[in-house]
Amino acid sequence: MTAPTLPIRLKRDQFPKGENLCEHCTAKCCHYFALPIDQPVNRKDFDYVRWYLLHDRATVFIEDENWYLLVHTTCKHLQDDHRCGIYDNRPQICRDYTTDECEFDDDWCYEQYFETPEQIDEYADALFGPQFQPSDQGSPDSIRSRRPSGLPILN
């Protein structure tokens, strides 16, 4: 019995010049949007980033020293064949988008990538030092809950 062969994934430079890469793509660009955000500079700023990460399908990444909120969500007009259902009436941002530098063959590697609020807390702790000691009850300036106490030891 022969193992199934996986499709060969061509890179952009393997297509003829002028080829419409959208014809060979699963519409990566229609499965997320990323918005620039201010670089956090203090604990309060990092708490806002933490708030973003408490939401389903939200991540944050850093690229070329710029911070971005990345929301993993699919355009409601993307059809099963990976084509736009409102192509003739699509938003201007879609009209302006070209495949010249799109993510057609990107591997999604970022300088830094945060998926959980705990990761951004650890990053902030590395920059500023730990915010709470285990005995702290929280800070009136923070929206964070106090650090939970340890579980009791059972005999």
pLDDT at 101: 77
Counting residues of the chain whose pLDDT is more than 90, the rounded percentage is 55
Mean of all residue pLDDT scores within the chain: 85
Residue 141 token pair: 């300036």
Whether pLDDT at 42 is above 70: yes
Whether pLDDT at 140 is above 90: no
Cβ-contact 47, 92 below 8 angstroms: no
pLDDT at 39: 98
CA pair distance 110, 60, nearest whole angstrom: 10
pLDDT at 7: 65
pTM, entire model: 0.73
Which contacts of 136-142 are long-range, i.e. CB under 8 A and separated by 24 or more positions? Answer: 141/44, 142/43, 142/47
The β-bridge partners of 84 are: 78
The β-bridge partners of 113 are: 61
Cβ-contact 136, 146 below 8 angstroms: yes
- When pLDDT is cut at 50, 70 and 90, the band that residue 35 belongs to is very high
pLDDT at 100: 81
pLDDT at 155: 63
Higher-pLDDT residue of 42, 132: 42
